[in-house]
Structure 1
Amino acid sequence: MTPVRSLARVMLSGIFVVSGARNLQHPGRLVPAAKPVTDRVTPLLQQVSPRIPTDTETLIRANAATQLVGGLMLATGKFTRPAALLLAGTLIPTTAAGHPFWNSADPAERMQNQVHFLKNLGLFGGLLLAAADTEGRPGLRWRAGHRIGHSRRSVARAVRTARREARIAVRSAATARRLPG
């Protein structure tokens, strides 16, 4: 991993590690803002499994734990692509609950929430780039396509060789028939 990638990942993950740890310890302060979002998500979670806890504080803790673990994975360079996708997924409810600028009547509060919303949108973009970064190595799509192309060329080469050997065998057999014996 290059020093620039390492530094960028540490810098990108910092907000998730810090806020994840803070929100894991003190989720109560976020309940009023998160309640409208968790109330909309609860029916979907119950359809997936009735055993999933749906109270707002537990969902905040789960999101915080995911951000903490995902941030640490991204910072340490372990499973960085899945970690970046995981963190991007946690930003969606966090941003919707924490910065709904469209609901603010006060212009100053609206502007503040809009700035934080756009900041999170920028973080989301950075996480998508981190998720797509193959560190200069070919990605799975390229490797699969390359392997298929290699296999096709190998098969075509084997067919050409078999045809050539068949022609040689036919010529040899014809020559053998003509020889007195």
Structure 2
Amino acid sequence: MSLLRVAGRPLLASMFVVGGLNSVRNPEAVTPLAEPVVRPITERVALLPDRTEQVVRLSGGVQVAAGVLLGLGRLPRLSALALAATLVPTTLAGHRFWEAKDPGERAQQRIHFLKNLSMLGGLLIAADDTGAAPSWLWRGRHTAHELRRDAALVRHSVRATARPAAAVGGLRAKLPG
């Protein structure tokens, strides 16, 4: 594994571990901000809890778990996807710069919104990073190609040996027994 991955993954994950811990410990602090985003999501996804506070706590738990896994380099692609999935509603709930009236507040929220978009980009890159190993898709295609090649070799071998074998069999049948 490269030094960049060893250093980069924990750096990317750190914000999620800290923010997730805050959401798990004190969900009431962000529940009012999360309500307008969480409500439409919970109406569409039946598996999620009904109370916004519980959804915030669940999202924080996912961020802590996935952040720790990403930081340790365990299941990094899946962890990055899980973090990306929690980052989108978190960003939409917490950094609604378009609703801010004060120009200074609007500028700060826009900066935080763009920062989260940048982190989302990093997570998407991490989710696609195979660590210099072939992806599952490439491995599947490569295995299928090898199987087709092996099947063609078997087919050629069978054809090449079938005619002589049939001729020998025919001669044996004609010989007195």
TM-score higher than 0.5: yes
Listed as ranges, the matches of 1:5-84 within 5 Å are 5-45=5-45, 48-49=46-47, 52-84=48-80
Listed as ranges, the matches of 1:161-180 within 5 Å are 161-170=157-166, 172=168
Unaligned runs of 5+ in 1: none
Which of 117, 126, 130 aligns to 1:130? It is 126
Cα distance between partner residues in 2 of 1:89 and 1:173: 67
How far does residue 24 in structure 1 lie from its aligned partner after superposition? 1.4
Which of 100, 104, 108 aligns to 2:96? It is 100
How far does residue 107 in structure 1 lie from its aligned partner after superposition? 1.9
How far does residue 167 in structure 1 lie from its aligned partner after superposition? 2.9
SS of the aligned residue for 1:134 comes to coil
Q: Is the 8 A contact 1:38 1:54 kept in 2?
A: no
Match of 1:114 in 2: 110
SS of the aligned residue for 1:21 comes to helix
Q: Are 2:155 and 1:159 aligned? A: yes
Q: Are 2:143 and 1:147 aligned? A: yes
How far does residue 172 in structure 1 lie from its aligned partner after superposition? 4.5
Over the residues paired in the alignment, what is the CA RMSD in angstroms?
Answer: 2.1
Partner amino acid, structure 2, of 1:68: V
Cα distance between partner residues in 1 of 2:136 and 2:118: 26
Identity %: 39
Partner amino acid, structure 2, of 1:158: V
How far does residue 39 in structure 1 lie from its aligned partner after superposition? 2.1
SS of the aligned residue for 2:50 comes to coil
SS of the aligned residue for 1:136 comes to coil
Cα distance between partner residues in 2 of 1:61 and 1:176: 81
Stretch moving more, 34-43 or 68-77: 34-43
- Number of residue pairs matched by the alignment: 177
